[in-house]
Structure 1
Amino acid sequence: MMYLLASRQNDGKKLNPRRDVPSYPKYTLSQETIEALKKPTFDVWHWEHNEMLSCLEYMYHDLGLVKEFNMNPITLKRWLLGIQENYRSNPFHNFRHCFCVSQMMYGMINLCNLPEKMTLTDMGILMTAAVCHDLDHPGYNNTYQINARTELAVRYNDISPLENHHCAVAFQILSLPECNIFANVELEAYKQIRQAIITLILATDMARHGEILDSFKHKVDSFDFTNEEHVTCLKMVLIKCCDISNEVRPTEVAEPWVDCLLEEYFMQSDREKTEGLPVAPFMDRDKVTKPTAQIGFIKFVLIPMFETVMKLFPQIEEIMVQPLRDSRDHYEELKQIDDAMTEVGHLFSLNITLSLVNQIPIPIFPS
């Protein structure tokens, strides 16, 4: 690895760059890819790491962030490599998830015409927070960290331990001169950028979902882009949307992410059972199915949040909100099928039991 983290539990290693300057193979983006990158329909599964790095690099150039912050383009490359190498190989919280969230942010920036309403500094904060938002995620959520009394939970006093850790790792990487994309930004401006990025990454803690969405709902009907508090709240909601936006994507792109998330959940719940810790029903492999995992989340978290954003940006309805409604309907149909199959199974089991008791032939299906 190019960078080794002091934060990784019990290894005691420092974040040190290699002496040589690694580079990822240059991938030239086709015009088709450039246009696709701006849309939520972008298929995130067909890309190698070096290609995703090139796409992220392109986004920073295309949005004018390299020019705005006077970034050294080589430093941008090194920073992106440092980012990629500090995402772990978890089933879900990995570098491809980082790319998904960043690509959706880039898409929303374009779809909502944000550069016409907000500053380039805001664009840089949104993109950089998206890229960094899950750095060094260990694959076990905040509930586990707190219940297991991990090093991270102790360090951050049980307050958003993972999100605080992602922030710390992000700024560890930026503290390296060869990775500091904000090296040419004046000190006061950098302090404001740093604080804004921290605010956005901390906003991705789902424990704060209701609080943040309620705050935005109170502002959206009289939203003022010249009001700093309003804009900060919008940025918090935007990164939240992007972080949990997989169901906005086409089914063939979105559904594999459900499998990845459930795999990570099951790893955690298995460990919790082994360690005698509480297990959340939605993470228990004996209690959850794909439809039950998704229906409530889509109906009560995703759709209400995106529909609130739609009040400010009506153009997202067709390309973002409608796919969520379609996804809800898809999983409700699957649940009906699952329920019907379960009922048939129960009836069949009952027939077997009755047949054994009465010693009569077992029918294949209930009559």
Structure 2
Amino acid sequence: DDGEILSRVETNVVPAEVRDWLAMTFSRASSSCPVKKVHKEKPKFRSVANAIRAGIMVDKIYRRICCSTGFKVPTKVAAHMKDINEWSFDVFKLNEVSEGHALKFIGHELLQRYDFINKFKINLQKLDHFLTRLEQGYSKYHNPYHNLIHAADVTQTAHHVIHSSGLTTWFSDLEVFSAIVASLIHDFEHTGTTNTFHINTSSDTALLYNDKAVLENHHLSSTFRMMKDDEVNLLSNLKKDDYRELRANMIEIVLSTDMSLHFQQIKTVKHSLNVQETIDKTKALSLIVHCSDISHPAKDWELHHKWTELLMEEFFRQGDQEEQLSLPVSPLCDRRNTLVAESQIGFIDFIVDPSLQVLGDMADRFVYLMNHSDRNVSSTSACNSVSTQPSTTSSTPQSVLNFETTRTTTRAWEACLVINKQKWKERSANGLFAPTACSFQFHRSITFNVCLLLFNLFLTKVLTFVLFNLIACLHQFYCLFTLALLFVSYTWFYLELLNF
């Protein structure tokens, strides 16, 4: 269980504060109830070669649709979008060249590339209004981290995993569509504070959802309430059965981004890969989106470092609120003594790396079964799950594949994890606990103190100048007074002599 996993986090290796944060954020006693639904299986390709041909076909469809949709993409945005299939896609650069509309362009791009606009008869005007309202919701609280850039990054990362591994041939169009839309809305109207903060402050949102997946429920509810407005309902042309399945998929995917369910989610998938059990496709998509949500430590250092700065600032802002409310400051939320480098090392070792290992193993198993469907897929494969073969090796944190399964998917994150972890170790050894510009408020306080110091120096010089001149004036007055006194004395003495 969660306690057994966290018990392996030794305090002599990981600081107590980091261990407390891991326990508070990524574990919870209760679990969410799965959503029941009826699945429809899509015919599967039997080889990776067919998957590659399918990808080429998608690109051709995308180019054809781009010429007919009328959606104008600026030249700089189009040029940057050429790298959308890359693991370390620079979403910050996209947001810059799109003038703050990274989410809108990512949404349009992916829905066009997968031909979902045509397949699900999405009205382009409604789609544009939907994405605009999403961006407004993500900007509602001006969060440093949980904003539209993060949503665009998670959506692009989920696309990379599905696209690069060839899983588009395993999932149905509706399932992939569910994952893309769920990624777009997964943090809609995020308040910039954690579920624990909402519970501890008895916020209206926590009371509404009875302290269960507070923010995740809010993201979903707010999105579907928003789509009750027909002008922004991009799902208005879906068939009723398709809409019900998509909604059920989205609910399960977004609720699975609740970090307190992390260990249970990873354990469930690992267990399914090690024994002869089934892996529900929606649970597989949930794992993909969840891993995409926590993937920034596995991106290029420049991207990871920037994401860390933004996340720590958001944590610190929550810590400031907790201090103002006389609440205990949550782990990693105290801007005065948080060990940033150590927190990222612990995050990589105990959360990100094991999760991505399971994700890669799951993708490898799906591809393996597609390539050996004649031998390995039983007659029950028509249902919406894949039957896995029992592993002949014991479960380890590194891999859950059996010896017959070879790695077929690209794991671009592995090299980045090694590099980023090493850089944090170097920073920790050098005493660089916080990233450059980690706290905007900290820098504002520095600026204020510098200005105050300069003002004090200026005031000191002014007072010194005034005092010096005052002393000079007093000295001159003393000299004149002395001369006048001498003049009066000599005059009186002279008059006395004359009288004598």
TM-score interval for Structure 1 and Structure 2 normalised by the shorter chain? 0.7 to 0.9
**Alpha-carbon distance in 1 for matches of 2:79, 2:349:** 33
Contact 2:103 2:135 in 1 (8 A): no
**Alpha-carbon distance in 2 for matches of 1:35, 1:26:** 12
Return the letter of the residue paired with 1:50.
Answer: H
Q: Which runs of 5+ in 2 are unaligned?
A: 1-69, 364-406, 434-500
Contact 1:223 1:230 in 2 (8 A): no
Q: Corresponding residue for 2:226? A: 173
Q: Is 1:130 the counterpart of 2:165 in the alignment?
A: no
Relative distance call for 1:178 and 1:339 in structure 2 (3 A) is closer
Q: Corresponding residue for 1:14? A: none
Return the letter of the residue paired with 2:249.
Answer: A
Q: Corresponding residue for 1:249? A: 299
Corresponding residue to 1:333 among 426, 436, 443: 426
Q: Is 1:220 the counterpart of 2:273 in the alignment?
A: yes
**Alpha-carbon distance in 2 for matches of 1:153, 1:283:** 20
**Alpha-carbon distance in 2 for matches of 1:335, 1:317:** 31
Q: Corresponding residue for 1:105? A: 158
Relative distance call for 1:307 and 1:145 in structure 2 (3 A) is same
Return the letter of the residue paired with 1:43.
Answer: D
**Alpha-carbon distance in 2 for matches of 1:320, 1:97:** 18
**1:96-154: CA deviation from partner (whole Å, max 9, x where unpaired):** 11111111112112111121111111111110010000010111110100000000111
1:183 Cα offset (Å): 0.9
Corresponding residue to 2:117 among 66, 74, 81: 66
Task: Summarize the alignment of residues 70-149 of structure 1 with structure 2, pairs less than 5 Å apart.
Answer: 70-88=121-139, 89-149=142-202
Q: Corresponding residue for 1:268? A: 318
Q: Corresponding residue for 1:357? A: none
Contact 1:145 1:153 in 2 (8 A): yes
**Alpha-carbon distance in 2 for matches of 1:178, 1:216:** 39
Return the letter of the residue paired with 2:133.
Answer: G
Stretch of structure 1 that moved more, 309-318 or 84-93: 309-318
1:278 Cα offset (Å): 2.3
**1:171-213: CA deviation from partner (whole Å, max 9, x where unpaired):** 1222211111111111122111111101111111101101111
**Alpha-carbon distance in 2 for matches of 1:175, 1:270:** 37
Stretch of structure 1 that moved more, 34-43 or 263-272: 34-43
**Alpha-carbon distance in 2 for matches of 1:162, 1:72:** 29
Larger radius of gyration: 2
**Alpha-carbon distance in 1 for matches of 2:429, 2:286:** 36
**Alpha-carbon distance in 2 for matches of 1:264, 1:45:** 17
Q: Is 1:45 the counterpart of 2:92 in the alignment?
A: yes
Contact 1:142 1:161 in 2 (8 A): yes
**Alpha-carbon distance in 1 for matches of 2:77, 2:145:** 28
Q: Is 1:312 the counterpart of 2:362 in the alignment?
A: yes
Partner SS state of residue 118, structure 1: coil
Return the letter of the residue paired with 1:254.
Answer: H
Q: Corresponding residue for 1:231? A: 281
Contact 1:25 1:50 in 2 (8 A): no
1:221 Cα offset (Å): 4.2
Contact 1:126 1:235 in 2 (8 A): yes
Return the letter of the residue paired with 2:134.
Answer: I
**Alpha-carbon distance in 1 for matches of 2:425, 2:274:** 32
Q: Is 1:27 the counterpart of 2:27 in the alignment?
A: no
Relative distance call for 1:317 and 1:110 in structure 2 (3 A) is closer
Contact 1:24 1:50 in 2 (8 A): no
1:316 Cα offset (Å): 5.2
Partner SS state of residue 93, structure 1: coil
**Alpha-carbon distance in 2 for matches of 1:271, 1:24:** 42
**Alpha-carbon distance in 2 for matches of 1:285, 1:98:** 25
Q: Is 1:196 the counterpart of 2:196 in the alignment?
A: no
Q: Corresponding residue for 1:162? A: 215
**Alpha-carbon distance in 1 for matches of 2:362, 2:74:** 36
Corresponding residue to 1:295 among 345, 352, 355: 345
**1:230-269: CA deviation from partner (whole Å, max 9, x where unpaired):** 2122111111111111122211111111111111101111
Relative distance call for 1:51 and 1:164 in structure 2 (3 A) is closer
Partner SS state of residue 196, structure 1: helix
1:51 Cα offset (Å): 5.0
1:222 Cα offset (Å): 6.1
Q: Corresponding residue for 1:153? A: 206
Percentage of pairs with the same residue: 25
**Alpha-carbon distance in 1 for matches of 2:186, 2:328:** 27
Contact 2:103 2:151 in 1 (8 A): no
Q: TM-score normalized by structure 1?
A: 0.81
Return the letter of the residue paired with 1:69.
Answer: F
Aligned length: 315
Corresponding residue to 1:259 among 295, 309, 331: 309
Q: Is 1:282 the counterpart of 2:332 in the alignment?
A: yes
CA RMSD across the alignment? 2.2
**Alpha-carbon distance in 1 for matches of 2:293, 2:106:** 18
Return the letter of the residue paired with 1:80.
Answer: L
**Alpha-carbon distance in 2 for matches of 1:114, 1:278:** 45
Contact 2:102 2:152 in 1 (8 A): no
Contact 1:38 1:110 in 2 (8 A): yes
1:74 Cα offset (Å): 1.9
**Alpha-carbon distance in 2 for matches of 1:43, 1:199:** 28
